[in-house]
Amino acid sequence: MSHPDIATIGIKSPNNQHKPKPSPNPTHFSASSCCQITLNISIHLFFMFMQVKTNNKPLSCPECASKEIKKHSISKTKLQVIQRYFCKNCRKTFTLKPAESKGKSYPLQLILQSLSLYSLGNSQADISEILSKKFEIRIPQKTISNWTKEFKQTTTFSRLRREAKSEFSPENIIESYELLHNNLNYKYQIHNFKLNYLTNNNEKLQRLKIYLEKIPTSDFPHHIFKPNYNTEQKLDRSSQVKFETLNINPLRKQNLANKLCQLALNLARTNRERHQAVQDFFITNDSTTIATEIPVYLTHDDLLYFNANNFSLNPEVFKTPVTGHIDILQIRNNLIHILDYKPEASRINPTHQLTVYALALASRTKLPLTSFKAAWFDESNYYEFFPLHSVFIKKEK
């Protein structure tokens, strides 16, 4: 859940005739009003690009880890204003410049915006022109080319970019909709090329595609996401549901999601903008994210079905329907991956929430729970598990 960041690349929802007709009710959602790829700019945003960001983390000295620090001086270059800090403990000065931007003449945020524009299918000449108009900075095409080569191991959509360009323009490769659910705005996005490419000739994954394409239409039950929805009991949010699960040990590891997250957080000016920055960067630049902010719901009948099939779920514990929004949805190795960005991921354990997401999406798509993996992550840690293992009781032979 978040509002569109003014630093985010605007993406229009194309009027594709083969798609289901969107709902005319603006209380459910409204398509993005952008008419072309834009980099919206304000004086405040331009100043942000000229500064090195700290991602709002508590400041500490990189030498001694002391938090007894203060602002010391400002270094100015042609394109950046860099704040230096002084540590009262070890008496050394330092900057908080991200490692990826060291040795760069241009601000990291500008580099990341260029990478996103390239992933959307813009040519290097177009990117140079777009940035020149918006920021009054003329970036040579050779420099943009060097950036795309440097980051290609992280921005893996570059492997699919040529094929995607032949099917979609930069304006319609990603569809974006604003969903008004529970009186909050959710930016639901679908990557058209990846959705087609990763579900092609796979009956199981085609069911997922059908569900995702149904969401921005009048056929989707947006009304159950309203706080005044007429139910016998107040509905539950998936992030608030507590129920007994089986003992599982999520696998802790590091993968590409951590690297993408680390880069994406440089595009968030405030803590509130982190989720949107991460979602936008993933869906635009990786090769597996097919959608973000996906609404899902779990009904009483769904719970009765699971309970009757040896799942350790008591339908009476839940206030149904249970609703939620999945941060990031990926397809990898023929499995559907449900990802949730959690700042300071090592300090929490949202297995209940992610299990509900998986149960809900399995119910809506009529897919077995074995088709799903779930994980929560930040820029440093990635915790992964099979939702099935947390709720299914194996029958004794």
Asked if 313 contacts 276 with a C-beta cutoff of 8 angstroms, the reply is no
* Type and span of the H or E element at 373: strand 372-377
Q: How far is 9 from 113, CA to CA, in rounded Å?
A: 8
pLDDT in tens, the chain (397 residues): 433 332 333 333 444 434 444 544 433 343 443 333 334 333 334 444 444 444 445 578 888 888 888 887 776 665 556 677 888 899 888 776 666 656 567 889 999 999 999 999 999 999 999 999 888 888 999 999 999 999 999 999 999 999 999 999 999 999 999 999 988 999 999 999 999 999 999 999 999 999 999 999 999 999 999 876 554 444 455 555 667 778 899 999 999 999 999 999 999 989 999 999 999 999 999 999 999 999 999 999 999 999 999 998 888 888 889 999 999 999 999 999 999 999 999 999 999 999 999 999 999 999 999 999 999 999 999 999 999 999 987 766 5
What does the pLDDT read at residue 189? 98
Q: How far is 67 from 2, CA to CA, in rounded Å?
A: 30
What does the pLDDT read at residue 158? 97
Nearest residue to 361 (alpha-carbon basis) of 172, 160, 210: 210
Residue 201: phi and psi, rounded to 5, are 60, 30
What does the pLDDT read at residue 162? 97
Q: How far is 147 from 69, CA to CA, in rounded Å?
A: 34
Pairing of the two strands 81-87 and 251-253: unpaired
Asked if 119 contacts 157 with a C-beta cutoff of 8 angstroms, the reply is yes
E-state strands within 55-196: 69-76, 81-87, 93-95, 174-181, 184-191
**Helix, strand or coil, per DSSP, at residue 78:** coil
List, in order, residues 6 or more apart from 396 with CB less than 8 Å away. Answer: none
Q: What DSSP state is assigned to residue 392?
A: B
Owner of token pair 């350790």: 312
Asked if 353 contacts 216 with a C-beta cutoff of 8 angstroms, the reply is no
What is the CB neighbour count within 10 angstroms for residue 308?
Answer: 10
